[in-house]
Amino acid sequence: MGVATKIKPQSLQSRHNDTLSELEHYKLLVESVQDYAIFLMDTNGYIRSWNKGAQKNKGYTADEIIGKHFSTFYRQIDIDSKKPERELEIAIKFGRAEDEDWRVRKDGSLFWASVIITALFDKSGQHIGFAKVTKDLTERKRQEDEMRDANKKLKQQRRELEKLNQSKSEFISIASHQLRTPATAIKQLLGLYTDGIITDLPEKHLALLRKAYESNERQINIVNSLLRVAQVDAGEVIMRLEECNIASLLEECVAEFQASALKKKQKLSFSAESPTQMILADTQYLRMALDNLINNAIKYTYESGTIEITTFEDHTNLHIKISDNGVGIASGDMGKLFKKFIRIQNDMSDSEGGTGLGLYWAHRIITLHEGSVLVSSQPNEGTVFHIILPKGS
């Protein structure tokens, strides 16, 4: 059998010395912290200790501040409103009080502080004072204020831009309506002569009226383009979706443009992968967008050139390709294609009129159908507009 070893209990003096040592280490730790102001107060809020962080944050040395009331760090407006006293009352009632607000340094400057005041009680539950921890958050506060001010300015700018855009759209709409009314009246009047309803006019005068009719027709087209763009920019275009056979729709579009292509001795052709290619679309708006792209291909393709329109499907999308062997587009101009009032300069831009709105409007309409337009092109070799439309849109 082994011999039991008797362990001597730690002496009271030894435990007392260990406790003192722990307290010294704790005191050293607190006094060494520099990022936080940590200090003790008596039951009335008078300061009883002071660490390096408190001196760094508030500017007072221990000799200058110990014995003074902690309200020294508060603005006069807070002192007058009894804020320091309320915070002590809250700490006693709930165990702690938290606050973020401005505090005052020794030199009178303000800093944004995060403050926690903890009520201290002895083992018997007797209130013996408070511990206060303060963190200087002035830099964070500055960044938050700058961010808030920046957001406020951005919101204000956005509101101003929205108002400006609304005013612009209203102006274009009103001006366009005012222009279209007399232009339509002039068209009707000139039509009496050009359509042969009124016949007692010399041929040389009739030729001038035909030119006037064509010029007036261009003006009406410009006005209609402005109205369409103003409408789509104002969000007033409402898609009325219905079953649409794209193959049939494109056949109608191509038939309508055959005369324009023949004038330039161009070959305009259409081929569909299937005679029934159904999608959900607003037929009226989609046709206008396709008309615009086909007309654009005819305008910027040389005489005797070719324009080919093809369609095919995959599992989720319908694809339409409008290909030509015309003037093409330089790589540096590709980013300008779908912008308003921009006409890309090429060999034919001077001879072909335009508003710089057609492609923009067509792109917006296709986007409203949740579709997209891809473009590939080489100068003097031609351009391909690849339209992708979801079959379930």
What are the tens digits of pLDDT across the range 278-335?
A: 899 999 889 989 998 999 999 999 999 999 999 999 989 999 999 999 999 998 888 8
How many percent of the chain have pLDDT more than 70? Answer: 82
Write down the domain spans for the chain. 15-136, 143-233, 242-390
- pLDDT recorded at residue 19: 46
| 15 pLDDT higher than 70 | no
Give how far Cα 242 sits from Cα of 40, 181, 250, Å: 77, 32, 16
Q: What is the mean pLDDT of the chain?
A: 84
Q: Which CATH number fits domain 143-233: 1.10.3470, 1.10.287, 3.30.1150, 2.20.25?
A: 1.10.287
Per the DSSP assignment, residues forming a β-bridge with 311 are: 272, 320
Distance (Å, rounded) from C-alpha 304 to C-alpha 137? 75
Residue type, 330: A
Q: Hey, which CATH number is domain 15-136, 2.70.170.10, 3.40.50.12780, 3.30.450.20, 3.20.10.10?
A: 3.30.450.20
Contacts 24+ apart (CB under 8 A), 184-192: 184/220, 186/216, 187/213, 187/216, 187/217, 187/220, 190/216
Q: Whole-angstrom Cα distance, residue 137 to residue 342?
A: 51
Please state the separation of Cα 217 from the chain's center in Å. 39
pLDDT tens, residue by residue, 208-258: 777 777 776 766 666 676 677 777 776 767 788 899 999 999 999 999 999
Residue 383 · residue 376 · CB < 8 Å: yes
3-state DSSP assignment of residue 328: coil
Q: Is the confidence at residue 28, as pLDDT, over 70? A: no
Question: Counting beta carbons within 10 angstroms of the beta carbon of residue 155, is it exposed (0 to 12), middle (13 to 18) or buried (19 or more)?
Answer: exposed
d(CA 230, CA 224): 10
CATH of 242-390, one of 3.40.605.10, 3.40.50.970, 3.30.565.10, 3.30.70.600: 3.30.565.10
Q: What is the pLDDT of residue 174?
A: 66
Beta strands 306-313; 267-272: pairing state: parallel
pLDDT grade, residue 71 (50/70/90)?
very high
Pairwise pLDDT comparison (84 vs 200), residue with the higher score = 84
Lowest mean pLDDT segment, chosen from 116-120, 350-354, 369-373, 388-392: 350-354
